[in-house]
Amino acid sequence: MNKIAIDLGSSVTKIYKIGSGIVLVEPSCVAVNTADSTVKAIGKDAKQLIGKTSDYTTTVFPVFEGEIVNEKLATTMLNHFLYKAGVKSGAEAVFCVHCGFDAGQKALYQKIASGCALRKVSFVESPILAGLGDDVPFTVYEPAFCIDIGHGVTDIAAFSSDGIIAGISMNVGGGSIDVHIIDHIADLYGIKIGSLTSESVKVNVGSLYDTDNQSMIVNGRDIASGKPCSKVVYAPNLFFPLQTHVDKVIEYALLVLGKLPAEVSAVIRKNGILLTGGMAKLAGIREYFEEHLQMEVHVGDEPQMSVILGGGRIVGNPDLLRRVRAEV
């Protein structure tokens, strides 16, 4: 029987299979025929169609800001990914979920799991998994602190091997930054860019180092004339949208840190915090957090994979799973 971990991210789905490691990393995207609702493409094939579809096709992200918003398409998508990853029916699965996971979300996940022929499912909150995935030492006496900045959600939590001590989940992430970049570039240059271009400019040029000045040519539509046009976008042009959202995360992290019991606070101050999620790959973000939190900040080699790697660890460790799984 396969034992797997599944992270149904707002932007990227990741699957880990015991014995094989990470077996799938694909955009959580489905292209659907608007006339008869049939599925035209799933994963990277679907994401490539964003902003280029005719009236007959629409692209859907079945998970939006961390919530399952289209159970049927989420099931179709996950079934396709499990098949592609060679996962057999009847697998035991751990789902990586956000802080504040509730009974309503659990019911939706369980429907999806049964639609995908998964046998036994458990749920564990992302910060704990990120800590495990990045080998952060934590025990029942020695808590840890993690900030996971994904596409639709940022999870911030202090936790021990007994579970979450204090944590929150907020709807800020790479997705809200992409939207802000689109508006900001429109204001600066009078050019409307699409969401794929916005994500690409954020990943390739975005930086929180105020000395960075790398650039990229972006293509879009001139707002005044309606004609296709190109502009060079420089790193400092993106600083404001990036800083606005990252500052919000820092504000909430300080709020959680400020409410921790004194003993927990002391350990975290000594050991520092872990930063994970796709946004942890942004240039300069570690240093920016260190400066604003006045604490040591650690970023692993592959921060976007920390949570799913932790999922893989925990599905193979029933004792720890029993202790930290989310019971709602």
Separation CA 204–CA 189 (nearest Å): 19
- Decide whether 191 or 253 has the Cβ nearer to Mg ion: 253
Which range in 108-116, 195-203, 214-222, 260-268 contacts ligand ATP by CB under 6 A? 195-203
127 interacts with ligand ATP by CB under 6 A: no
Which residue ranges make up the site for Mg ion (CB under 5 A)?
A: 9, 150
CB contact at 8 A, 122 and 149: no
Q: Look up residue 39 and give its two tokens.
A: 């599925």
- Decide whether 253 or 260 has the Cβ nearer to ligand ATP: 253
- Decide whether 104 or 318 has the Cβ nearer to ligand ATP: 104
197 interacts with ligand ATP by CB under 6 A: no
- Which of the listed partners (ligand ATP, Mg ion, none) does 66 bind, with a CB threshold of 5 to 8 Å by partner kind? ligand ATP
Q: Look up residue 131 and give its two tokens.
A: 């800590």
In terms of Cβ atoms closer than 10 Å to its own Cβ (0-12, 13-18, 19+), residue 198 is buried
Separation CA 143–CA 250 (nearest Å): 20
- Which of the listed partners (ligand ATP, Mg ion, none) does 281 bind, with a CB threshold of 5 to 8 Å by partner kind? ligand ATP
Q: Where are the beta strands (DSSP E) in 204-300?
A: 215-222, 228-234, 273-276, 297-298
Q: Which of 4, 5, 12, 256 binds ligand ATP (CB under 6 A)?
A: 12
DSSP 313-328: HHHT-HHHHHHHS---
Site string for ligand ATP, 299-328 (x = CB under 6 A): -----x------------------------
Q: Which is nearest to 164 in space by CA: 10, 325, 16, 2? A: 325
Site string for ligand ATP, 40-59 (x = CB under 6 A): --------------------
- Which of the listed partners (ligand ATP, Mg ion, none) does 134 bind, with a CB threshold of 5 to 8 Å by partner kind? none
Q: Look up residue 68 and give its two tokens.
A: 């399952």
User: Rule CB under 6 A: which residues touch ligand ATP?
Assistant: 9-12, 66, 150-153, 173-175, 199, 202-203, 206, 277-279, 281-282, 304
